[in-house]
Structure 1
Amino acid sequence: MPEETPVSTPSAPATRPLPVTFRPTRTRAVLLTAAVTIFLVVSAMALLLDRLSTAERISFVFTALMLSCVVLVLARPKVVADDTGVTVVNFASSRRLAWAEIVGVNLRVGDPWVFLDLSDGTSLAVIGIQPGIAKEQAIADARTLRALVEDRSGHPAGAAHD
């Protein structure tokens, strides 16, 4: 009986054209929808309530805008891999890494997102790849990033686990 060919090999994802962007797309869609909904509902309330003064209406709309901005910050995380390295964008920070700086890509059972082990001995959270509501996509993205790191840096990148 002939052996089955695996659907994907560890080196297959590295042939993906660069740049490639990883995002928690389902989570992002929920957050973007929530931001728009919050702004529209609170602003509509401000316009429809007859007892409010103009200043109070403006404060309602301003509050709706601030709440929506907070939700949009939660939708910000992503990872962009290009020919020269990886850019990790988290909630309030962004960090550019050369391929050689990344020595491990880890997504262990129970982890809220991927972690990169760096050559300086530290670890960096990669919130742009999170298994929350799209576990299979996060695992596939972690494996792809791991293969890209192995291909570009010349050293094994650790294991991306389920």
Structure 2
Amino acid sequence: MSASLPGSPELPALPATFRPTLTRVVLLSVGAAMFVVITAVAMILENLGTGERTSFVFVALLFFGVLALLSRPRVTTDADGVTVVNITRTRRLAWAEIVRVNLRAGDPWVFLDLSDGTSMPVLGIQPGIAREQAIRDARTLRALVEFHGSGVNDATRNG
């Protein structure tokens, strides 16, 4: 599965960023709409005190904050490696640390098999809403990993 095989993606210029754009737009739009609606309700209700109105706005901000946090995942590649930003964690990986990029049928997002024997979820590429885009992004990331010398060689793997 090298970048030179037919059907392999063309390598993008680095740095390149992959993120679930449609999911991000939906989450941030819903968060903003919820904030506006809850705040408007708090201001319209006549029998609420200042403390109660403040509580409504605080809850609206909390909802928006959670949805903004859920919209955070992305993968950024550069000449030195990959930065994976998931919901609450960010991890920097050298190209050589990534053994394989996996997106199997039914997976909620891409997984990276790492040289230390662990697997890492990459929420920045997820087939939920935009399946075809996620597949293209996963193939491109796989081609970048193979091109940048991760030491991955199909002849050295057992499957």
Settle same-fold status: TM greater than 0.5: yes
What corresponds to 2:41 in structure 1? 45
User: Residue 31 of structure 1 aligns with which residue?
Assistant: 27
After superposing on structure 2, the runs of 4+ consecutive aligned residues of structure 1 that deviate more than 6 Å are: none
Instruction: Give yes or no for contact 2:100–2:114 (8 Å, CA) kept in 1.
Output: yes
**Does residue 152 of structure 2 align to residue 156 of structure 1?**
yes
Are 2:110 and 2:126, in contact at CA under 8 Å, matched by a contact in 1? yes
**In the alignment, which of 83, 88, 93 is matched to residue 84 of structure 2?**
88
Residue 153 of structure 1: how far off its partner (Å): 1.9
Matching of residue 17 in structure 1 with residue 13 in structure 2: yes
Structure 1 residue ranges without an equivalent (≥5): 1-7
Give the 3 Å change call, closer, same or farther, for CA 110–90 of structure 1 in structure 2.
Answer: same
* Alpha-carbon RMSD: 1.3
Q: Which residue of 2 aligns with 1:146?
A: 142
Q: 1:26 to 1:88 in 2, by over 3 A?
A: same
For structure 2, the 5+ residue unaligned runs are 1-5, 155-159
Q: TM-score, normalising length from structure 2?
A: 0.90
SS in 2 for 1:80: strand
- The percentage of aligned residue pairs carrying the same residue is 59
Using structure 1 for the length normalisation, give the TM-score.
0.88
**Counterpart of 2:36 in structure 1: which amino acid?**
L
**CA deviation map 1:80-118 (0-9, x unaligned):** 001110000001111000000000000000000000000
Say whether the 8 Å CA contact 1:102–1:153 is kept in structure 2: no
Match of 1:101 among 93, 97, 100: 97
Q: 1:133 aligns with which of 109, 124, 129?
A: 129
